[in-house]
Structure 1
Amino acid sequence: MTVPTASPLVSRIQQAGALVTAELDARSHRSPDYAAESEALHAMAQALTESDTAMLQKLVDTALTLCAAGSAGISLHEPKDGQYSAFRWAAVAGRCADLAGHLIPTDDSPGGVAIALGSPQLFVFPKRHFRCLAHVVPEVTEELVVPVPGTPKPWGALWVMSHDDHHFDSEHRRILKSLAAFTCAALTIAQAKADAEARAREAEEARRAVAAAEAHKDDFIATLGHELRNPLAPIDSAMAAAQRLAADCPAVLSALAVANRQVQQLKRLVSDLLDASRIRHGKLSVRPAHALLGDIIKDAIAAVSEQAERRRHQLHATLPPYPVTVSADAARLVQVISNVLGDAVKYTPPGGEITLDVDAPDPAAIPEHDSAPREVVITVRDTGIGVPPDLLPRIFDRFSQSRSARMGAEGGLGLGLSVVKYLVNAHQGEVSVFSEGEGKGTQVVLRLPIVRHSSVEHSASTTHGIPPARILLVDDNADATEALALLLTLDGHEVKRAQNGLEALVLVESFTPDVALIDIHMPGMDGHELARLLRQRTQCASTRLVALTGSTGAKDSAAMREFDCCLVKPPSLEDLAFVMRG
């Protein structure tokens, strides 16, 4: 808003003879004391590091001294409702010092006249013409007022008053103009600092809001993943049991195979959700050990081979002719490679081609005492839908997918590559994705410094065959226990079920389990309390207690000390076979 015009006020003051600015040049003036002025400006420059109030006070103290005035002050515009209708005496020195903070109208004040005229003005006996000065004691014989320039409007006015026969001259005007210019610079700096601090606060508040939203989203994702595990467990177990029961019925097996493929897809989506939650909380870890790279590649290909065959893909793998020993978390590396292969299968049209090439040095050629890791480069190429250029920089972001990927019949959540990048980085490696654009295929390159000088025997093929065992299942989810019990019974085990801790305690009076699979979160007596009570039973002294939980971080919790081990729901048959073997 513009400053209200002061033309009527100027005319009135001029007609009253109170405006005597022309006398400044007619009066004799002292020689400039540049040394004192320089010292004063230096002191004010130092005051810039202090608060705005301290800086303005230093300014008016300097004006008071250099102009030998009785009072000095600075009047700054006090905006109200977008209008500049008042001046605030922001700092005052001398005989008017007790009036600091006083408000006066802009349209009836010496400062208003000086700003309206756009130049320094000298007034005689201003109290007689400006009602706003009536409270000033004693009489004011002269007042010299200099506008404080500013952009886009003046900041206000700097003024000095005489209360006796002291007269101001052109030298005093020069000093005040210099101080007014300094004031403009200081106020501009202060305003810029305040604006910057306000923007910084807004940015920090926005950052916190985004972080809070991200945390809420991650918590929701983790909860969703945990909740989805519960119905998946009985479905998966029931389907596995049904496939055994329908071994002689091809039509039923065919229908179950379709359902099983969709359940496996759901399990992968849930695993991606839970891995994203583990990454967020730093709980997705790797545990390196010596393994054969060939076994890792074989397991990764096996994980996607059925889907690749169903889509009639040509899947080729080229490995070194010699065994390559690596120091890596084999399970996590299988997850990395199968994720990359799975994306290639998913986003390559039927009949497409997928190749996996492994370039690794021969560990036998590494000197025996050389422990430095060598690099293995795994390259996966496909002839699929490719990646648009605008998505490539964000390809590893969570939930990042192209439109064509989202429209795919088997599209995922856009979490796979973010998990891949995290796990590759955890192995001190690098992953990069290349594509010439949509419809031109994709190339993923994994570089992992994991090759070691060592020899490892090929791992035996996995099997679920274990000696029959007496198993106690404790879970308040009846469907989950019924389906898992049926599957384990078909495998030759003797299984008893309980839906709460009290039922389990009654059962063990007549049934001594070899293994007890116990859900942690049950109403009433939870899994922890049940485990402690079972430990006190002499008949359960050799029972292997296994916790079942949907929490991704629980396996590392000190609260699990009552149990021999912990499995995340739904447990795989490999996991169950492992814990039952002890």
Structure 2
Amino acid sequence: MQARRGITLSLRHLLILLTAIGFLPLALLGTWGLKAAGDVRQREQDRSMLELARALSSAVDAEHDGAAAALAGIAHSPALKAGDLRAFHEVARQQAAAQAEWLGITLADEQGRLLVRTMAPFDVPPPTAVDLPSLRQAIAAHGPVVGNLVRGHSGRYAFPVRVPINLPDGQRCVLSAVIEPGRIVNVIGRQRVPEDWIIAVTDGVGNRVARSREHERYVGGAPSVALQRLMHGGPEGTGDSKTIDGTEVRTAYTTSSRWGWTVVVSAPTESLRYPLMQGAVVYAAGLALSLATCIVLASILARRIVRRIDRLVRGAAALGAGAPVSVGPSRIREIEQMGQALAAAAQQRDRHERERSELLASLERAIASQEEALAEAREAGQAKDEFLAVLGHELRNPLSPIVASLDLMDLRGDPGAQRERAVMRRQVSHLKRLVDDLLDVSRIASGKLTLELHPVDLAEIARQSVAAVAGMRVTLETPESLWVRGDDSRLAQVLGNLLSNAARFGGGEAAVTLRSEGQNARLTVSDRGVGMSPELLARVFEPFYQAPQQLARRTGGLGLGLAIVRKIVELHGGHVSAHSTGLGQGSTFDVVLPLASPAATAPAAAGTPLASGLRVLLVDDNEDAARASALMLRHIGLDVRVAHTAHDALATYGEHTIDAALLDIGLPDMDGYALASALRSAAGGRALRLVALTGYGQKSDVERATAAGFDLHLTKPASLDDLRRALAA
């Protein structure tokens, strides 16, 4: 037998040696991978910080652009164009107050003398403008300029945004917005960055305008020397630097090519390196732990024991997954006991699962039943709202061309059909009132009828409502003014419904009386008509209830007007009552509302006449309504273009100059809300008045129209007077 050569090892030592040799390449590869990952992380961190700096620079540019655009809009003020600096001072002061972080607005001539300064009354002699270089730059550049951060006459830091303008006498001036650094601080504050990162913004000469940390302490100062050296490398870049307080940081900066301001983003070097060091420690610890575990397992585990344990592991996994547990017998007592325990646990689990399944099934049935009932209620409510919206739209749409045609015939002054037109107009108004009553009573039933309460003059509302009554003689007795807290349109609706009721049942005459009684206002509408029986008095305010009528139903109506009156009055905190001494003795309705303090006197707004030759775009897929409305508007001197689809409307707007647009909402290719947004985008900054003219008249429709950019919402049918007011600038 040959003698054995070399070193002989036991199986235990051989397994340990093989384990160590196997882990050596992993350790080397992991170390190289950690270094490579660190380099990649550094490059990604630099790129991310530079992208953040660029994004912030764009946001700062957007703030400057917005301020310049606002100044350009203020420069078109009629007072400034008229050379009335005192009136312009008030306009500029209001505009500055509406802008966040604007200290004020100034107007200076080429020599820097301030002509207007909203930070002080107009009569106070203004000082000389600050930051004269940027003022001269705006004059020379003939365009917007953003100045540098300076300390103004009030001692506060601010920077100017300047726009050159020409006064009516040809004098060159500069209109400036004086803005606090807090506006830029707000831009920084909207960024989601780690708390230990520092973001700073400097102006064109390096003055610090804003800082994410300790802004008040460092505002107006210069960057650190290390940052200044880094920023000499070009308009943007990354590198290591130090903050003003000596903290070592990794920095990315970028300088705006438009305004010359610089955004600096810095992160502490220590916080950037910490994840790399942490990863190295975790990797080393895991590697060492894995090596030790493998050595231990190589020393103590045997194939027979591992095979038995694998059976137990599969049994435990089956127990957790809810599958049947099968563990074979074993000659090792402890493993056998564990197998028996798993089998017992599986039986107990099955019993609990059955009980839990029964409880869940019962709960699911109860929840399903409840959800089904709620779903049915929601669907019913939604179906009702959709039906009423469609009903209002479909009933109002045919009325629109009828009203437009009647207005057009009135404009043409044809006396031959004057009586027939009056009949048609009364019937159209009656049908419109029926539609409004249906929608109002639905809102009342669903609790969606809301009021906009403020002090209103009930005497003025009574005078206007009586003046609007046609075909009936109404006497009015009212004080000069009587104030209540209410919704003026709804109170006018109350009086209108009562007068409409008197017109149908009051014999053509009615009397309206308004007086003060203690802490209340009493509005009385009385007539000498058919009167009411006691049975009718008891139910006169119920919805859809009407007194017995002849088959001809000459008085018409749906029995909703008085029900709406009662609900509106109750929402105002008052009450309404009806009185009659019997049939043929007339009727009296009393509305009692709490008195309120008069509203503060506001200057009356001067009415704006409708300019002749106004260029109007009329968009309606109903060709009859579009044709009639266009003829009516052309008859009063307007230049009208007609389109029946949104695509045609956009094409027409691109080909012609348009001052105002009347848009239907239910268009075949694009709804009116989207069309309004498209027209606003196409108009850019040019003035364009948008009016929604639609059969959808619920409050949600009005709110959606306002959100879409409409200046006014009109519900069909709209009269000529409605269109005149809507198109007036």
* Equivalent residue in structure 2 for 1:318, among 462, 472, 477: 477
Which residue is 2:421 aligned to?
Answer: 256
**Which residue in the other structure is 2:93 paired with?**
none
Task: Give the Cα–Cα distance (whole angstroms) in 2 for the partners of residues 222 and 473 of structure 1.
Answer: 23
How far apart are the structure 2 equivalents of 1:324 and 1:337? Answer: 15
Task: Tell me the residue number matched to 1:474.
Answer: 619
**1:425-444 superposed matches below 5 A:** 425-444=570-589
Contact (CA 8 Å) 1:518, 1:547: kept in 2 or not?
yes
TM-score, length of structure 2 as denominator length: 0.44
Residue pair 2:516, 2:522 contacting (<8 A) in 1 also: yes
Gap change, CA 1:301 and 1:472, over 3 Å in 2: same
2:393 paired residue among 221, 226, 235: 226
Please name the residue that 1:517 is paired with: 662
1:376 CA displacement: 0.6
Q: Percent identity?
A: 38
Change (3 A) 1:392 1:462: farther
Matched, 1:358 2:358: no
Aligned length: 356
Task: Note closer, same or farther for the CA distance 1:453–1:523 as it changes in structure 2 (3 Å cut).
Answer: closer
List per-residue Cα deviations over 1:517-544 (Å, max 9, x = no partner).
Answer: 1111111222222222222214673212
Q: Which residue of 2 aligns with 1:235?
A: 402
Are the equivalent residues in 2 in contact too, given 1:295–1:458 (CA < 8 A)? Answer: no
What is the deviation of 1:234?
Answer: 1.0
User: How far did 1:416 drift?
Assistant: 0.6
Q: Summarize deviations over 1:136-161 as a string: whole Å, max 9, x none.
A: xxxxxxxxxxxxxxxxxxxxxxxxxx
Match of 1:554 in 2: 701
Q: Given residue 674 of structure 2, which amino acid in structure 1 is its aligned partner?
A: E
Q: Work out whether residues 560 and 566 of structure 1, in 8 Å CA contact, stay in contact via their aligned partners in 2.
A: no
Which residue of structure 1 aligns with residue 539 of structure 2? Answer: 394
Deviations for 1:405-426, whole angstroms, at most 9, x for unmatched residues? 8854132111111211122122
Q: Secondary structure in 1 aligned to 2:690?
A: strand
Paired amino acid for 2:401 = P
Of 275-284 and 329-338, more deviation after overlay is shown by 275-284
Output the amino acid matched with 1:288: L
Superposition deviation, residue 221 in structure 1: 4.6
Q: Give 1:378 shift.
A: 0.6
> Match for residue 299 of structure 1?
464
Question: 1:361: how far off?
Answer: 6.3
Secondary structure, aligned partner of 1:439: coil
Mapped to 1, the partners of 2:590 and 2:484 lie a distance apart of 18
| Alpha-carbon distance in structure 2 between the residues aligned to 1:397 and 1:464 | 44
- State the partner residue of 1:334: 492
Gaps of 5+ in 1: 1-204, 310-314, 363-373
Distance 2:639 2:434 in 1: 33
Cα separation, 2, equivalents of 1:282 and 1:405: 34
Q: 1:405 to 1:361 in 2, by over 3 A?
A: farther
Determine if contact 2:608/2:728 at 8 Å carries over to the other structure.
no
Which secondary structure does the structure 1 equivalent of 2:649 belong to?
A: helix
1:391 is paired with a residue whose SS is: helix
Checking the alignment, whether the CA contact within 8 Å between 2:532 and 2:580 is kept in structure 1 is yes
| C-alpha distance in 1 between matches for 2:671 and 2:397 | 17
State the distance in 1 between where 2:447 and 2:721 align.
26
Q: Which residue of 2 aligns with 1:343?
A: 501
CA distance in 2, matches of 1:488, 1:279: 37
Partner of 2:593: 448
Structure 1: distance between partners of 2:486 and 2:626: 35
Seen in structure 2, the aligned counterparts of structure 1 residues 476 and 417 have a Cα distance that, compared at 3 Å, is same
Give the letter for the 2:411 counterpart: R
**AA partner of residue 327 (structure 1):** R
Whole-angstrom CA distance in 1 between matches of 2:498 and 2:546: 14
Determine whether 1:566 maps to 2:724.
no
Q: CA deviation at 1:459?
A: 7.7
Give the letter aligned to residue 403 of structure 1: P
Instruction: Give the drift of 1:381.
Output: 1.5
Following superposition, the deviation at residue 302 of structure 1 comes to 2.1
| 1:358/1:546 CA distance change after superposition, 3 Å | same
Higher relative contact order (Cα pairs below 8 Å, separated by 6+ residues): 1
1:436-489 deviation per Cα after TM superposition (whole angstroms, max 9, x unaligned): 343332211101114424575898998975554211111111111111112211
Give the Cα separation in 1 of the matches to 2:716 and 2:612. Answer: 23
Q: Is residue 697 of structure 2 the alignment partner of residue 532 of structure 1?
A: no
For 1:285, what is the secondary structure of its paired residue? coil
Cα distance in 1 for residues equivalent to 2:683 and 2:475: 57
Distance (whole Å) between structure 1 residues aligned to residue 533 and residue 670 of structure 2: 54
CA distance in 2, matches of 1:532, 1:346: 45
The reply to whether residue 491 of structure 1 matches residue 636 of structure 2 is yes
Amino acid of the residue matched to residue 566 of structure 1?
Answer: H
Mark the CA change 1:482 to 1:540 in structure 2 (over 3 Å): closer, same or farther: farther
RMSD: 3.4
Matches of 2:402 and 2:533, distance apart in 1 = 38
Partner amino acid, structure 2, of 1:278: R
Taking the aligned partners of 2:725 and 2:427, their CA distance within structure 1 comes to 26
Deviation at 1:404, TM superposition (A): 3.0
SS at structure 2 position matched to 1:525:
coil
* Inter-partner Cα distance in structure 1 for 2:560 and 2:466: 20
1:498 Cα deviation (Å)?
0.2
Separation (CA, whole Å) in 2 of partners of 1:450 and 1:525 = 48
- Contact persistence 2:694–2:716 (CA under 8 A): yes
**Alignment-derived partner of residue 434 in structure 2:** 269
SS in 1 for 2:691: strand
